[in-house]
Amino acid sequence: MAKPIRKISSRRTGRIRSRKSVRKIPKGIIHVQAGFNNTIVTVTDVRGQVVSWASAGTCGFKGPKRGTPFAAHAAAINAIHRVVEQGMQRAEVMIKGPGLGRDAALRAIRRSGILLSFVRDVTPMPHNGCRPLKKRRV
């Protein structure tokens, strides 16, 4: 006689869990990439996995307004607000790029209530740079 087939619990019968697990992140790294056209703020945990991010473009700024300090301030507030809810208390800040939003983003991070262990400028600097263009002949 054949054995009865056991019914595997389907989604309707089983408990439905939310797919996103809310992680408690006590410490993280905040990366600010400030270009002339946009400012991107990315918050990662200590292992480098992205927890939250925002840019001036995602905050609703269009065109040349994305490169302004006000847009960078708004992007930093949006990115940090999500991780403060998850319990982040301490952070390190890495700032990259020559844009106008550098100082405004850092000011917003300092006012958010997160304790900063250090602020590091990681802007890449060329040691010798690219080969220059050939001399122009007219």
72 part of a folded domain: yes
Residue with tokens 């607000």: 81
Per-residue pLDDT of 66-109, as tens digits, reads 999 999 999 999 999 989 988 899 999 999 999 999 999 999 99
CA distance 128 to 130: 7
60 part of a folded domain: yes
Is residue 92 within 8 Å of residue 29, measured between CB atoms? yes
**How many domains is the chain partitioned into structurally?**
1
Per-residue pLDDT of 113-138, as tens digits, reads 899 999 999 999 989 988 999 999 98
70 part of a folded domain: yes
CA distance 30 to 44: 6
73 part of a folded domain: yes
52 part of a folded domain: yes
Please choose, from the candidates 95, 87, 82, the residue with its C-alpha nearest in 3D space to the C-alpha of residue 122: 95
Amino acid symbol at 91? A
What range defines the domain where residue 78 resides? 47-87
51 part of a folded domain: yes
